[in-house]
Chain A
């Protein structure tokens, strides 16, 4: 079983459309994240949720809205897609929100979003 799974793996859509990316983790972790990796491979955190509560919200356009129905799921909805939104989006989860020192982030395989 895949620990952190995202769907879809690939998403091609036109500008102005609304789309969602789903993420599920079966590790029993409390914290989930969304990261964006641009064409230069820079990985930047977007959101972090702990037990369905928003913990981190970086400077992300409000067209991006995360939703966590339960602690095993963190979905990302994007409104009015723009060309600059094209990137690979990674979902991740970790055991605890406190810096225990050995907290590991487990990543999904990524969703390659292409806006045309």
Chain B
């Protein structure tokens, strides 16, 4: 059973288009993070959202955490070829006392064509 469902799994769009990636779960997370991974590299953190309903903006990227802290979305405005990559959401769940475990979704592979 996949704890975090990401959709779509693949997305190929033209430069200038807008897109939204979704991350859904039945679990409540302490926080939720979005990472971007480029080929041959490890994932790199884009943003962390903590409060239900929180919205964060990073240039053309807008991240939203659901009110119930079970889901999140990433919206990219006017996508550029440089946005191409694998986008991963990750939820932090408390595990074994005060420890937390970061669980990743399967990722959305985004290709922005010039």
Say if A and B assemble together.
yes
8 Å CB interface, A91-116 against B: 92, 94, 97-99, 101-110
Query: Which among B42, B44, B90, B95 has the greatest number of chain A C-beta atoms within 10 A?
Result: B42
A110 touching B42, Cβ below 8 Å = yes
Chain B interfacial positions (CB closer than 8 Å to A)? 30-31, 33, 37, 40-45, 48, 50, 86, 88, 90, 92, 94-96, 98-104, 106-107, 109
Contacts of A101 in B (CB 8 A): 30-31, 48, 50
Instruction: State which size class the interface on A falls in.
Output: 20 to 34
Q: State the CA gap A107–B90 with chains docked (Å).
A: 13
The answer on a CB contact under 8 Å between A56 and B99 is: yes
Binding site for B on A (CB under 8 A): 4, 33, 35, 40-45, 48, 50, 55-56, 90, 92, 94, 97-99, 101-110
Partner of B45, one of A4, A41, A44, A105: A105
